[in-house]
Amino acid sequence: MSNKKQQFRDKDIIFREGDPATRAFTIIAGKVELVTDVDGKEKHLDLLGPGKTLGEKDVSRGRHQATAIAAGTVTLRPLDQQAMAMVKAPPPGSGGGFLARLLAPLAPRPEGAGHEHRRRFSLFGWFRQIKEASQPIDPTRIEIRIARLATETAMEFDGDDTDRPDMEIVLEDAFIDLEGVRARPLKKPIEVPEDTAPEDRFTKLHWAARQALAQSEADLLLLFEETPGGGRVNLRFLPLGIQNEDPPGLYHPAQTLSLPAALDDALAGLVAAVALAATVPLTDVKKTRLAKVLPQAMERATPSLEALEQAQGLSDRDKLVARLFFANLLTLLSGPAGQLEGYRLAADIYGQAADSLSEDADALHRAVARRALGAILPILAPAMEQLVVTDEEDRPLGPLAQAAQHLEAAAEHFTREDHPKEWAALQTRLGQICYRIDAQEGDQDLLKKSLNHYQAALQVFNRVDHPMRWGEVMNSIGQAAAILGEQMKSVELFEKAIEACSSALEVRHKLDHPMLWAATQNNLGSALFMLSKQTHDPGQVEAAREAFALAKGVYEARGAHRLTMITEKNLARVERLLEIAKPKDPPPLPWEPKDYAPHLADEPKDGYDDDEEEGDMSVYDAPPDDDDGTDGKTANGS
């Protein structure tokens, strides 16, 4: 049988329940949904992602126990029974038993075995492995794996190194007492072929790490490499999952953290906190677990800033990069907590990194710092009144303009060719910033620039591969196009805004993403209302009222009071317009007193007279935690 990769389109049936099971599959890319038939109705069983084996147990039973359906585009590699037997078989000479594997560290090293690295035996670690092996698998637990990077300069340990702690054990101990987190070493180091080109090295390294994580059913690999002499260790944090969101303070997997090999408690706390922050949870339960344990890890990492100043064997550059990792922790945790002070401290560290790190040797770290600055300066903007930065012509720049500069600089490193997702995310943020500056200055050119950035982002964030990111950009296009249409009195722009919001609603479903759905409904209502003032179409006014009412219902149910007030104000405007548009009674005859026609007493001369300027009736996307909208992106309306 052929073992070539097979591709399936969205909703394709891979196999049906009850079909003969002759082979299993490894999921290379995409997701597969497992369903079963219960009383004639389809029941969801599971959703499997990359690295998982599909149909493995069915092969032993002879028939498939569920129906497998492609959830999007899926790539599978068939695994026949012979290959499965080879994968499951214990290594030759290993004895294959559980106790034999645990006792392996006690076995004498064969003569002539070469100089490959061997972990020293730890009796405490041995008993801990027995305890952990007896525990059932916890699907809510964050699983960390630790491995050495196999290189020609990897540190060797011999019988005279008894005073030197094993780095795997040191790193494993960094995660002790973190609730719901388990760290374990991998049996083998991670290797990259020697003939790998330098520009391809990280890609192959990350791929090897993800394969190891998929096999061990873990979430993140903590990869370490000790420098010659053993005074310093270089750490990489490689997740199994792929980050599809763009929170401020996002790590990049290619970043390397250099620390002293003799980690004290504070620096070990920093390592554990960074590892958890870099983890991409693949399930909602793990996401909840991560949100609970990360503040605990951050508390343990707080003393690391002071410890870095006293650390021996680190250059000033190493210390600054380590502080950059700490700044990412501050940024990631300040958002949910609503702590501006954490953002301020992080902004100071990012600024130092952007100014001091080498443009060539540390291009990635600089780009990460400038990307983060571009994300948090708009959050700090309301509290930043002093214009302390100037451009090349000595003109003062506000925080939003500074943010735009940082994002544009980051985009010079995160190019579309080499980093398409990062580049598209930067284009989206640039569009949002141009939109906000226009709200302050009323510059039509900025709104046009905002739309250009959004259109650029769509070159990467298409509906098939990135549906939610595509929906976010389409919603933003609807916002910007409606405001530009109001300024230019352009029916065409209003229609474009309506089309964009309607498209966004095709992926922003009320059941799955209620707050995002409500934000888009409000923006759709705004565009319809503005268009109706140009076309005088009562049907558009009614549609605007319905959209506002739908958004208001979700905001009220979720306790989002400020957003509820925005939609109530928008609804009030629509109601006033509908009241004015109602058919009037016949005009009074000349001899009738005006009291008999009170509906004419306060009739506006021009048919519609609002006591306020129209302004921006839209709302920004509500935060994912569905609270009152004070976290994350702001809401705006008038």
Q: What one-character DSSP code corresponds to residue 465?
A: T
Average pLDDT of the residues of the chain: 81
CB 519 within 8 A of CB 551: yes
Task: Return the residue matching tokens 């599971």.
Answer: 46
Same domain, 626 and 499: yes
Question: Rounded distance, CA 399 to CA 43, Å?
Answer: 51
Query: What helix, strand, coil percent values describe the chain, rounded to 5?
Result: 50, 15, 35
Structure-token match 């083998």, residue found: 188
Q: Using DSSP, state whether 119 is helix, strand or coil.
A: coil
Gap between the Cα atoms of 328 and 634, Å rounded = 21
Longest dimension (CA), the chain: 122
pLDDT at 525: 96
CA triple 426-427-431, angle to 5 deg:
115
Residue 50 or residue 316, greater confidence: 316
Q: Which residue has the tokens 């922003």?
A: 508
Residues 57 and 204 in one domain: no
Enter the tokens of residue 519: 């934000």
**pLDDT tens-digit map of 566-612:** 999 999 999 988 887 776 666 666 665 555 444 444 444 444 444 44
- Report the 10 Å Cβ neighbour count for 116: 10
When pLDDT is averaged across residues 177-197 and rounded to a whole number, the result is 89
Q: Indicate whether 372 belongs to any domain.
A: no
Name the least confident of 20-29, 303-312, 534-543: 20-29
Residues 309 and 179 in one domain: yes
Instruction: Say if 11 falls within a structural domain.
Output: yes
Q: CATH number, domain at 44? A: 2.60.120.10
Provide the domain count of the chain: 3
Are 57 and 147 contained in the same domain? no
Burial of 461-474, coded b for 16+ CB within 10 Å and e otherwise, reads beeeebbbbbbbbb
Task: Tell how strand 67-80 and strand 6-8 pair up.
Answer: antiparallel
In a domain, 480, yes or no: yes
| Mean pLDDT to the nearest integer, 543-554 | 95
Helix (H) or strand (E) holding 599, with range, is none
Secondary structure of 156-213 as H, E, C letters: CCCCCCCCCCCHHHHHHHCCCCCCCEEEEECCCCECCCCCCCHHHHHHHHHHHHHHHH
> Cα 517 to the chain's mean position, in Å?
19
Tokens found for residue 119: 């972990």
| Domain end point (choices 285, 307, 338) | 338
In this predicted structure, the answer to whether residue 519 has a pLDDT above a threshold of 80 is yes
Is residue 421, in this structure, part of any structural domain at all?
no
Calpha distance 291→515 (Å, rounded) = 20
Q: Is residue 10 scored above 70 in pLDDT?
A: yes
Q: Which residues pair with 44 in a beta bridge?
A: 35
- Final residue before a domain boundary, out of 338, 357, 380: 338
Query: According to DSSP H, which parts of 281-338 are helical?
Result: 284-301, 304-310, 316-337
Convert the pLDDT of each residue in 253-296 to its tens digit. Answer: 999 999 999 899 999 999 999 999 999 998 888 999 999 999 99
What is the Rg, in whole angstroms, of the alpha carbon atoms belonging to the chain? 30
Which amino acid type is present at position 50?
P
Which spans in 18-89 are helix H?
56-61, 81-88
Q: Are residue 143 and residue 252 in the same domain, yes or no?
A: yes
In a domain, 289, yes or no: yes
Contact (CB, 8 A) for 233 and 225? yes
Confidence of residue 619 (pLDDT cuts 50, 70, 90): low
Rounded-to-integer distance, Cα 469 and Cα 429, Å: 12
Domain annotation covers residue 444: no
Q: Are residues 70 and 174 in the same domain?
A: no
User: Average pLDDT of 56-84?
Assistant: 78
Whether 182 contacts 132, CB under 8 Å: yes
- Name the residue among 238, 258, 270 with its Cα closest to residue 174: 270
**8 Å CB contact between 220 and 278:** yes
55: left (phi over 0), alpha (psi -120 to 50) or beta: left
Same domain, yes or no, for 67 and 143? no
Q: Which of 87, 102, 118 is the last residue of a domain?
A: 87
Average pLDDT of span 439-448: 89
- 519 and 580 in a single domain? The answer is yes
**Whether 72 and 144 share a structural domain:** no
Q: Say whether both 296 and 184 belong to one domain.
A: yes
Q: Are residues 528 and 637 in the same domain?
A: yes
**Residue 566, SS3 per DSSP:** helix
pTM above 0.85, yes or no: no
With respect to residue 374, please indicate whether it lies within any of the assigned structural domains: no
Q: Choose among 456, 490, 459, 493: nearest CA to 478.
A: 493
Residue 544, in any domain of the structure: yes
The pLDDT of residue 470 = 96
Given a contact cutoff of 8 angstroms between Cβ atoms, the answer to whether 393 and 371 are in contact is no
Confidence band for 490, pLDDT divided at 50, 70 and 90: very high
pLDDT greater than 80 at residue 613: no
**Structural domain of residue 549, as residue ranges?**
462-584+608-638
φ and ψ of 137, to 5 deg: -65, 130
Same domain, yes or no, for 141 and 83? no
* In the block, residue with structure tokens 């100037």: 390
Provide the 8-state DSSP code for 596: G
Contact (CB, 8 A) for 280 and 241: yes
Q: Give the closest residue to 9 by CA, choosing from 97, 84, 71, 91.
A: 71
User: The tokens of 226 are what?
Assistant: 């000790």
Q: How far is CA 246 from CA 250, 371, 423, 493, 626, in A?
A: 7, 10, 11, 28, 18
Token pair listed for 269:
């706390």
- The token duo for 244 is 């599809």
